Amino acid sequence: MTPILAPGPDSVTAPASVSQRLLWMIQHYRSDFGALSCPLLCRISGPVDLDRLRAALDEVARRHASLRTTFQGRGARLSQVIHPPRPMPFEVRDLSATADPSRTLAQETVEELARPVPVDQWPTRATVWRLATDHHALCLNLHHLVTDAYSTGVLLADLATCYGDPGAPIGDSWSYAHFAQWQHDRLRGPELDRQRSYWRDRLAGGQLPSLGRPTGARPGGPAVAEAGFPAGVLPAVRELAARIGTTPFVVLLAAFYTNLHRHTGQTDVCVASMYANRSRPEVRETVGLIANMVLLRTLVDPAASFLDLVRAAHRTAVGALVNQDLPVQMLPAGAAPTGPGRPDDVVFNVMADLARAATVRDVTFELELPVQLGSRFPLEQTVVPIGAEPRAVLFRADDRMTDDTAAEFLAGYVRIVGDGAVDPSRRVVDLAGRSAGHVV
């Protein structure tokens, strides 16, 4: 076994952030906790220079201290150890001579994402697959303790910049250690009391979704189901959001509430969601585990219009945005909604609509959704942002849904998004089609 990388004479030790301590604790005490990789997965088209790509990755790690941070201690004494720059683990695999390079890539990507990243030794490693002369794939595999989903967009932009011009200036953002200290200072005294009070009042009497009781892990392992949106649906979502001064996330969330009502009959619905937690401009370009999980509770009135539900979801989302510094794991005792399972059993996310492709020196880097990774949560629906192939993706780790039920759940969601966005005056009960009965 490789020993833990000890701090060197040029290393810097700093306190771990609240989110890092929580994740460290959860991964050690919850045997069912899912994947701890949070990779940058992308396709590379064009005449890529692999030596230049390797140098660009090393430069990205030099710019972002998170990518050279290991950890020591545990609990409240967990610390970040920030090491000086060093070459990143980098491997090139040539699949161009295989019978089916794309299929082999899919298999090897699954294997790579399933292989743990030993964060006590080094938090990153890079693998490049050569599929053809002008077609490569890159997996920059990172431990979740040093990054989050939003950070992948930052990393893609910086990778392209460093590949094109390694000497380009870096943006003026906080280091992650600076953010961690700011977070510790903020979640003390009056601000901690204020946010705890908000969540206690907001969640009092709330109910978790009753999407059936799982009896165990899904046979055959976690599963992924996907459903595309017809052309014109997501532009209609954007138009509706702009019309009432909200965001596409809120419209998509209202449709998720409607779909949960369709399946459960519940009118008090509370789901978990990951918020980027980057309201401060100083952390917009910071790479690190900044995202927090919040609970979004909304009352669903079946007789109201979809537009009314969108407005209610807007109020929920804005309240959570203002109080997103306090992760769900730090809620006051007894404040979490009641129901079967845990508050993070049912999760709804919309991927940040960031730039997902960049072209430099005739080489294009394009982000991919790592569906092979699955989810850390029992049931998570993610909407891939508006782009070339927008779609809803449902990850399942337990057996509460069959494959057919999951497919119907997604199909119903896509239909509700389209019908609600095009005609938001329609009643929730009509969009849900409750007369058809429960699916689950």
DSSP 326-345: S-GGGPPTT-SPBSSS-TTS
Query: How far apart (Å, rounded) are the C-alpha atoms in residues 162 and 140?
Result: 15
Type of residue found at 40:
L
List pLDDT tens digits, range 85-126: 999 999 999 999 999 999 999 999 999 998 989 998 999 999
Query: How far apart (Å, rounded) are the C-alpha atoms in residues 11 and 84?
Result: 6
pLDDT of 2: 44
Average pLDDT, the chain: 89
Report domain 12-177's class. alpha beta
Q: Does domain 194-354+371-436 have CATH number 3.30.559.30?
A: yes
Distances (CA, A) of 358 to 132, 135, 316, 362: 20, 15, 35, 10
Give the count of beta carbons closer than 10 Å to the beta carbon of residue 367. 20
Query: Is 194-354+371-436 in the same CATH topology as 12-177?
Result: yes
3-state class of 277 per DSSP?
Answer: coil
pLDDT of 257: 97
The answer to whether 22 and 353 have CB atoms below 8 angstroms apart is no
The answer to whether 423 and 236 have CB atoms below 8 angstroms apart is no
Give the count of beta carbons closer than 10 Å to the beta carbon of residue 13. 12
pLDDT of 329: 79
The answer to whether 290 and 19 have CB atoms below 8 angstroms apart is yes
Query: How far apart (Å, rounded) are the C-alpha atoms in residues 365 and 54?
Result: 14
Give the chain's radius of gyration (CA, Å): 22
Regarding beta strands 391-396 and 79-82, do their DSSP bridges make them parallel or antiparallel, or are they unpaired?
Answer: unpaired
* DSSP state letter for 305: B
Q: What are the structure tokens assigned to 191, written together?
A: 């601000």
| Least confident range of 286-290, 377-381, 414-418 | 377-381
Over residues 192-205, mean pLDDT: 92
List pLDDT tens digits, range 251-290: 999 999 999 999 999 999 999 999 999 989 999 999 999 9
Query: How far apart (Å, rounded) are the C-alpha atoms in residues 371 and 145?
Result: 19
3-state class of 390 per DSSP?
Answer: coil
User: Which residues have CB under 8 Å from 329's CB, separation 6+?
Assistant: 22, 26, 293
Give the count of beta carbons closer than 10 Å to the beta carbon of residue 114. 12
The residue extents of the domains of the chain are: 12-177, 194-354+371-436
- Closest C-alpha to 296, from 352, 225, 350, 243: 350
Give the count of beta carbons closer than 10 Å to the beta carbon of residue 116. 10
